[in-house]
Amino acid sequence: MAIIGHRSRQAGLAVSLPLAPCSGAPHVVVDSTGLKVYGAGEWHAGKYRRAGRRVWRKLHLGVDDTTREILAADVTQSRVHDGRRMAALLPRIPDTIAQVSGDRGYDTRAAYDAVLACGAAATIVPRRNGE
């Protein structure tokens, strides 16, 4: 069972991700997307045409490349860098991992260390200014 959330009511939200049995070690693809948070403040801003601060969260996902199942998920503040969440996502996957793929946002030392710690091969697109 994975715990998804960061603060307030989200912190205690328990989400169970049932997994189908797989034939081997999965190839995990990681990425993130932005989520707009709507609430009473958004309604007031629209009604009274006030430009207020918008609330965003970031959803980090680890997906099996073969079955397209979500193996791990995490919700953070919008300013959290993608590469730092790799160490939180990979230990949530119960099976051994064969390979981890990600985009340029995951080309960090912390992400590579997390992939190597779980015994997988990293296939991450290098940054444009990478060495």
What proportion of the chain, given as a percentage, has pLDDT over 90?
A: 32
Give me the mean pLDDT over the 25-36 stretch.
90
Domain span at residue 60 reads 25-124
Q: Is residue 15 part of a domain?
A: no
Q: Is residue 17 part of a domain?
A: no
Task: Tell me the C-alpha distance between 58 and 75, whole Å.
Answer: 6
Q: Is residue 102 part of a domain?
A: yes
Q: Is residue 11 part of a domain?
A: no
DSSP H helix total and E strand total for the chain: 3, 7
Task: Return the pLDDT at 84.
Answer: 87
Task: Tell me the C-alpha distance between 116 and 103, whole Å.
Answer: 17
Q: Is residue 77 part of a domain?
A: yes
Place of tokens 């990293």: 122
Q: Is residue 59 part of a domain?
A: yes
Task: Return the pLDDT at 7.
Answer: 52
Task: Return the pLDDT at 24.
Answer: 73
Q: What is the CATH number of the domain that holds 81?
A: 3.30.420.10
- Spell out the residues 6+ positions from residue 93 whose beta carbon is closer than 8 angstroms to its own: 26, 28, 62, 71, 72, 118
CA gyration radius, the chain = 17
pLDDT at 73 over 50: yes
Q: Is residue 29 part of a domain?
A: yes
Q: Global pTM?
A: 0.71
**Higher pLDDT, residue 124 or 48:** 124
Of 118, 95, 120, 119, the residue nearest 24 (C-alpha)? 95
How many independent structural domains does the chain possess?
1
Longest dimension (CA), the chain: 56
pLDDT at 4 over 60: no
Give me the mean pLDDT over the 35-62 stretch.
75
Q: Is residue 8 part of a domain?
A: no
**Higher pLDDT, residue 122 or 46:** 122
Place of tokens 């034939």: 23
